[in-house]
Amino acid sequence: MALPSLTSLAKVASISSSGIFAGYASALSDAALTAILMAPDEATMAKQWRIQFLKGFQIAMPATIINILSWSYLAYTAKTSFVQKLFIAATLMTGCGTAFAWTALRYINGALSIKADKLAGGSEKQSYVIRYSLADKGTKKLEESCSTKELAIRWKQYNALRCVVLVMGTVVGAYALSL
């Protein structure tokens, strides 16, 4: 029995990783954040958001790397320029999920991190992922002007937009794989 080719492995990795990332990000918006918003108090809400945020980061970073590498390889090996362009689009759309979270959600992530520290105690994981935007003026202003619930609702809305882009990238990639 022959080993699978690198192209076959890239196809499986790209569609699997993209689907898992899009599904998980969607579950955060639809299920986890909905449950978090029903928390009895702001301290519980902030603590639960932080747990989900850290878990999401653990999935997002490897998925983003796999997405970029596998879709890019498929673009490089594509037989036609049309399929190559589709793979490039899939690379960009599925690869931007983490960058979106670190840029468009920067102040919201920071403000929710501050709320979590104030209301639920310091994080067990004082990592860069929690601390990267705490010193920003926009973060501090947002934290002071919004409740934890308002911030969580904003986070849910921005994350839903991110999910649309991730799902679109997965669909474009799947279409390219079918050609």
Q: What is the DSSP string of 69-128?
A: HHHHHHHHH-SSHHHHHHHHHHHHHHHSHHHHHHHTTHHHHHHHHHHHHHHH---S---H
**Residue 77: domain span:** 8-178
1 in a domain, yes or no? no
The predicted-structure confidence for 86-102, as pLDDT tens digits, reads as follows 999 999 999 998 889 88
Q: Give the predicted TM-score (pTM) of the model.
A: 0.90
For range 139-150, the mean pLDDT: 94
Alpha-carbon distance of 116 to 145, in angstroms, equals 15
CB of 127 within 8 A of CB of 109?
no
3 in a domain, yes or no? no
Amino acid at 32: A
123 in a domain, yes or no? yes
Specify the number of domains making up the chain: 1
114 in a domain, yes or no? yes
pLDDT of residue 24: 92
Residue 135: both structure tokens together: 């010193």
